[in-house]
Structure 1
Amino acid sequence: MKRRTLAALASLLLGSAVGMASLPAMAQAKTLKVVAHADVKILDPTFTTAYITRNFGYMVYDMLFGLDDKGVPKPQMVDKYTTSKDGKLWTFTLRPGLKFSDGSAVTSADAVASMQRWTARDSIGRAMTTISAAEWKAVDATTFTLTLKEPFGLVLEGMSKPSGFPPVVMPERLAKMPTTSPLTEVMGSGPFMFKRDEWVPGNKVVFVKNPHYVPRNEAPNVLAGGKKSAFDRVEWLYLPDSNSAIAALRKGEVDYVEQVPADYINTLRTDPNVSVKASGAWQGWMVMNQLHPPFNNPKVRQAVLKAVNQERFMAAMGYPLDMRVTYCATFFVCGSANDTSAGAEPYRTPDVAKARQMLAEAGYKGEKVVLLVPSDVTYLNAEGLMAAQTLRSIGMNVDMQVSDWATIGGRRAKRDAPDAGGWNMYVTVAGGFDADSPITNAYLSASCGNGLPGWPCDKELDELRIAWLKAPAAKRKEALDAFQRRAYEALPYISVGQYSPAIATRKEVKGAEKLWGGLPLVWMLSK
C-alpha cells in the first residue's frame, strides 16, 4: 500500500514538474531533464562533501583548473601560469573578461579568497599549508601568486580537485564568510545560473544558461575546456520512488537518470530506447563516529571489519556481477595505480566467530549503536541494512534510525552524543576520485582536528601521509604500503566493497559515453 501511495504521489509530482506535452518542440530540445540521485538541501560545495551539492557546484561555479578525461589538470579560469625553478613561487593570470552571473568582474582577489577558503577546508589544501605554509596573494586585478616555503608536488592537482571540496571560485565577500555554516547565496561564473524562484525543495531544481559565462575556446573535456551547453535549461527532478523514475525515463518524460537503481540495470539494458552505461569505480563505506563509544576504540572497529563480507554487501546492493568486485583489499581503488593489499591479510576472510571474540576482547558492553539508514536511495538503504545485519551478527545492540539521505547529510555533522541526537555509524559511497590516494581519499586524508563527520584522528597516519606526499617517485610505493598498513590498524572507515554504478539516458541523448566517473556534466551532452 505504501509503495502504491508513493508511486502515485511521485507520478503527480512528475506531471507538474515535467509537463512535457505542453512544451513546444523547440523548447523541449533545449531542455534537459535529469533525475538527480538526491534532494538538494545545501547549496554550498565548500561546506559539505555530499555529491549532490558538489554536482550543484559544477553547474553554477567554475574552477581555476579542471581535469580532462585523462585526469590531467588544465587551465580553466586561469589563462597562463609560471613556476619558479625551485617550485616555491607560482604566478597565475586569469583569463580576460571573466564575470560572475550578476555581471560583476571576477578578480584575483576573488580567486585568492576562494583558494584560502578551500585551503582551510580540503585535505590537499590543508596538506599544502602544513608542509609548505602556502600563502596566496593578489598582485593586481588579474594576477595572483602562491608562495611556498618548500615545493609541494600537488599544487595543480589540488587546484583542479574534482570532488571532496572542489576549489570553486566565488566572490571575495562570500569566500570570506565563516565556514561553520553553509552559504545560502549562490554567485558563480560557471555555465549555468541557479533559478531560486523555481526551486521546489524535495521536488525540483532549475538551472538556466548564465549569460555572463565566458567559456574557453577548447571543446569541453570533462571539467576542462569550454563548457558550452546545448541546453538552455536543465531541470533536476527528485523522484525517490524508483518505479516512477524509471517509468518516466522509458516514456521519454525525462532524459537522464543519474544513478540507476541497481535492480533496474539489467531490465533497462533490454530497452531499445534507453542506453545504460557504467560510470566509474565506486566503493561502499561504513563511517563510524570516533568521538563517542563504542567506535572511539579502534579494536571495536577492527572487530566489525573482521565480520564484513564484501561479496554479500555488493550482492545486497544489487549490482550485476559484471559491475562489482568480489573482494577489494585496498583502501584506494582496485585496478588503479595505488592498488595495494598491504595490511589486508588479517581481514581477507570474514569470520563472525572471530569478530565476536575480538569485540569481547575490545571491552564492548552492549552499548547501543545508532545507525543512520537512508530511506530514499535504494543502494544506500541496502548497504545500511547489511551494516545492521553485520553489527548484529557479532552481538552489537543496533538502533536503526531511518530517514532520507538529505536529512542524514545534515545530522551526520552533529558532534552530539548518540542519545542526544547524534549518531554512531552511517553508510555512504565514494567515487574513485574520492578514494584513489592517501590525500584525495576523504577519510584517509582527514588529519586530526578535521571537520569530517566521524572525526577520525590518528597522528601516526597523519605522519605517514606526509611521508607519502614527500616521498620521491622511487620510494612512493613503499610509503603507500606503510600508510595502508597503518590505515588497517586505525580504520578511519570500513570499505564494504567496490562496484560500478550505472547511468541511463534516452537514446536520443548524445555524449553520455564521454561522462567521466559518474559526474553529471551536462555540457558534455546534447540531443
Structure 2
Amino acid sequence: MIGEGSLLMKIRISKLFLLALLSIFMLSACSEESSSESANSTKEKADDKTLDVAIDATPPSLDPHVSTAVATGQIATAIFETLVSYDENYEVQPSLAKSIEVSEDGKTYTFPLRDVTFHNGDTLTSADVKASLERWGRISLFGRATMKGVTVEAPDEKTVVLTLEKPSTTLLDDLAYPTGQAAYILPKSILDEAGDDVVKELVGTGPYKFVEWAQDQYIHVEKYEDYQNPAGEGSGLAGAKTLAYDDIFYHIVVDASTRLNGLLSGEYDYAKSLTTDKYDELKNNKDITTTTIEPGMYPGLIFDTTEGFFSDPVARQALSAALNFDEIMFGAAGHKDFYRLDPGLMMKEQKKWYTDAGSDLYNKQDTERAKKLFKEAGYNGETITIMTTQDYPFMYNTAIVIQDQLAKVGVKVKLDVFDWPTLLANRADRSKWDAFTSSFPFVGQPGQTLFLYSANKHSSGYASPEMDGYLDEVRYASTQEEAFAAWEKAQALYWEDIPVIKFGDLNYLDGSRNGLTVDNLFGIEIFWNVDKK
C-alpha cells in the first residue's frame, strides 16, 4: 500500500515536469495515430484494387478447350477471348474479330482480326486463330459438331476465313459460347507444344492474365496492362471492359457455410452460390448486397432409355404425370424467389431461340393419368432405383420430393445416395440405376443440348433419328426463321419422348460487400464493368 506521505511527495512533483511528460506523450500518441491512419488508408486503397471471390468448385483444368466445368468457364472468361462474344442480350458481337463478314450463300465467314497482343507479348495472328479452332474442333464435343465440314484458312496474318459445306445458322453461337470447352484463342506456339494434351501455359488476350494456381486454395489473375478493348460499349462479354480491380483471387471454398462466413467477416468481397435459407437474413444486412444469378441452370432427372422400365417412353410419361414440378423446384431452390417454372430448354432471355413448345406436357400432374400410364407401361410393383447425391443439396432434395410424390401413386422408389464422383462412375453400369438426378447449364444454341443429339452419346442413351433430323435442320437452315421452326418441332418431340425431365429454371444466390453488383451470362459472373458503390 502507498503511504500518505509518499503520496504527498508524488503530488508535489514539478508541474513543469508533468507538462513536459504530457507533451511528449501527446506528440508520441499523435504520431502513432497518424501512422496508424496512414497504414489503414494504404491498406484500404490496396484492398480496393483487389477482389477476393469465393467460388464453389475446383476447376479440373483451366485449358478452355478441354474442360467442360462451369468453374473453368468462370475463370477462362477473364483470361481468354473468342473471335466473337455474346452481349447482355445474348446476341453475337465481334470480339477478337474486327467484324463478321458472311457471303451471300452463307458458306463463307471472313473475320478480319484486331491488333491485339497475347499476355506473353506475342501479336495475335491468323495462324493462332487457325491453330486454336482446329484444336477445338478435334477435342471439344461442341467443337467437333461445329467444325464438321468446316475448313479454316489464313490468307494473311490478319484475316481468318471459315468455309462451310452447308450454310449454318448456329456457327456464330458455337464460336461465342463462353463455357463447356469453348472456342477460345491461344497462341499457336503453346498449342503446338501441347497438341491434344492439356496446355502447360495459360496465355490469352483477355483483360486479366494468369499468375498462380495454389492448388485447393486459390487462382490468382492480374490486370493485363496492355489489354486492347474491343469496339463498342461494354455489354455482357462484348465491347469495352472497364477494370475496377488490379488483382482477382478466386478462392476455392467448396463448403457453402464457409463461403458465407468469409463474406460476413470481410475475408471475401464476393461469394458464389450461397444457400437460399440465408437469403432473407442477408437482404437485411446493411453490409451485404445480394445478387440473384437468373437463371443459373436447370435441374433434371435423367432416365436410362436403353434398357429396363424407362426404355419405354410411356413409362417416362407416367412418371412425369405423377410429379408436381412446382413442389420439386421449391425443394431444390429452398425459396420461392430462386426458381421459375418453364418448359423451354433455351432460356427466355435468348429471344431468338426461346419457345414453350411442348408446354401441354409440362408440369401436368394427374394422378389418375399417371396410374393409367404406369399400368400401360407394365409396372407391377417393382422398385425403381434413383441415384442421387448430397454433394449438391438441390439434387438430393429433388430426389426426396420425387420419391414422396411417386409413393402417392403406388410406385416404390429406392434412393441410392453417393458422392458425386461415384455417381458419375456408376452411370456406366446400367444395372445399378433406372434414373439419376443431375443438372444442366443453359447453352448457346439448341444443338448444344447434350442429351438430345445421339452423336453426343449422352448417359441417357437417347437416340432418335427424328430428333437428330430436326437438330440438323436447326444447324443447316438457310434463315433464322427456318431454324427456329425446326427447333420448335424438336422441343415438342423432347416433351413427348422425355429422355430427361427438366423441372424448371434454378437461380443462384450470390453475395457481395461494399455494394458490388455484377452482371452474368450463362450463370457466369462478370467482374468488369461492375457497379461499385
> 1:193 is matched with which residue?
209
The one-letter code matched in structure 1 to 2:59 is: V
**Which region of structure 1 is more displaced relative to structure 2, 181-190 or 491-500?**
181-190
2:275 counterpart (258, 261, 270): 261
Q: Give the C-alpha shift of residue 223 in structure 1.
A: 0.8
Equivalent in the alignment of 2:61: 42
Task: Give the equivalent residue in structure 1 for 2:160.
Answer: 144
Contact 1:217 1:226 in 2 (8 A): yes
**Are positions 1:209 and 2:216 aligned together?**
no
Correspondences of 1:12-411 after superposition (within 5 Å): 24-99=43-118, 101-120=119-138, 125=143, 128-129=146-147, 133-172=149-188, 175=191, 186-196=202-212, 198-201=213-216, 203-210=217-224, 213-216=227-230, 218=232, 220-281=234-295, 282-290=297-305, 293=308, 295-325=310-340, 327-334=341-348, 337=351, 338-351=353-366, 354-355=369-370, 357-359=372-374, 361-363=376-378, 366=382, 369=385, 371-375=387-391, 377-387=392-402, 389=404, 395=411, 397-403=413-419, 407=421
Q: 1:70, 1:395 → 2: CA distance?
A: 44
C-alpha deviation, 1:63, in angstroms: 1.0
Distance in 1 (CA, whole Å) between partners of 2:73 and 2:501 is: 23
Letter in 1 for 2:171: V
Distance across 2 between alignment mates of 1:152 and 1:168: 20
> Who is 2:10 aligned against?
none
Kept in 2, the 8 Å contact 1:373–1:401? The answer is yes
Contact 1:373 1:385 in 2 (8 A): no
Distance 1:430 1:374, change over 3 A: farther
CA contact (8 A) 1:35 1:236 kept: yes
Q: Say if 1:97 and 1:187 are closer, same or farther in 2 by CA, change over 3 A.
A: closer
Closer, same or farther in 2 for the Cα pair 1:42/1:455, shift >3 Å?
farther
Aligned to 2:495, the other structure's residue is in SS state helix
**Match of 1:417, as an amino acid?**
D
Which residues in structure 2 correspond to 1:450-461 (within 5 Å)?
450-461=456-467
- What displacement does 1:220 show? 3.6
Residue 416 of structure 1: aligned partner: 428
8 A Cα contact 1:373 1:381, kept in partner: yes
- How many angstroms does 1:476 deviate by? 5.3
In structure 2, distance between residues paired with 1:155 and 1:343: 26
Q: Give the counterpart letter for 1:493 in structure 2.
A: V
For 2:112 and 2:278, locate their aligned partners in 1 and report how far apart those are by CA, in whole Å: 48
Cα pair distance change 1:472/1:66, threshold 3 Å:
closer
Structure 1 residue 448 displacement after superposition: 1.8
Structure 1 346/217 Cα, relative in aligned 2: closer, same or farther at 3 Å? closer
Q: 1:522 to 1:300 in 2, by over 3 A?
A: same
1:235 and 1:109, CA in 2 relative to 1: closer, same or farther beyond 3 A? Answer: same
**Deviation of 1:348 (Å):** 3.7
Change (3 A) 1:23 1:33: farther
Q: Alpha carbons of 1:348 and 1:102: their partners in 2 closer, same or farther (altered >3 Å)?
A: same
Cα distance in 2 for partners of 1:329, 1:74 equals 28
Deviations 1:8-40 (A, max 9, x none): xxxxxxxxxxxxx99933331221111213232
Question: Matched residues in 2 for 1:191 and 1:139: separation?
Answer: 28
CA distance 1:479–1:86, shift in 2 (3 Å): closer
Kindly state the Cα deviation for residue 461 of structure 1 after the two structures are TM-superposed: 0.4
Does structure 1 retain, via aligned residues, the 8 Å contact 2:87–2:237? Answer: yes
What are the superposed Cα offsets for residues 495-525 of structure 1, whole Å, 9 maximum, x if unpaired? 011243332221342x42x444542111233
Alpha-carbon RMSD: 3.6
Deviates more, 1:80-89 or 1:168-177: 168-177
For 2:200 and 2:414, the matched residues in 1 are separated by 36
> Which of 428, 438, 445 lines up with 2:446 in the alignment?
438
**Is the CA contact (8 Å cut-off) linking 1:392 and 1:398 kept in structure 2?**
no
- Decide whether aligned partners of structure 1 residues 237 and 364 sit closer, same or farther in structure 2, where only a CA change above 3 A counts: farther
Q: Can you list the C-alpha shifts for 1:358-407, whole angstroms capped at 9, x where unaligned?
A: 345435684763513142x4434433444555566663553423325xx3
Q: Relative to structure 1, is the Cα distance of residues 331 and 70 closer, same or farther in structure 2, using a 3 angstrom cutoff?
A: closer
1:47-100: CA deviations, max 9, x gaps?
Answer: 34321121122122111111112222222112344333322222223222421x
Using the size of structure 2 for normalisation, the TM-score is 0.79
3-state SS of paired residue (1:24) = helix
Match of 1:483 in 2: 490
Which secondary structure state, in structure 2, belongs to the residue aligned with residue 258 of structure 1? strand
Equivalent in the alignment of 2:526: 521
Report the TM-score, using the length of structure 1 for normalisation.
0.80
Gapped runs of 5+ residues in structure 1?
A: 1-20
Q: Is the 8 A contact 2:361 2:496 kept in 1?
A: no
CA distance in 2, matches of 1:362, 1:185: 54
Q: What's the secondary structure of 2:46's corresponding residue?
A: helix
Q: Does the CA-based 8 Å contact 2:333-2:339 persist in structure 1?
A: no
User: Cα offset for 1:136?
Assistant: 1.2
Q: Distance in 1 between matches of 2:164 and 2:494?
A: 29
Conserved? CA contact 1:261–1:379, under 8 Å? no
- Residue 8 of structure 1 corresponds to none
SS in 1 for 2:347: coil
Give the count of matched residue pairs: 488
Residue 249 of structure 1 aligns to a residue whose secondary structure is helix
Q: Partner letter of residue 397 of structure 2?
A: A
Unaligned runs of 5+ in 2: 1-39
- Shift of residue 323, structure 1, vs aligned partner: 4.0
* Secondary structure of 1:449 counterpart: helix
Is the 1:64–1:160 Cα contact (8 Å) retained in structure 2? yes
Rg larger in structure: 2
The amino acid across from 2:248 in the alignment is V
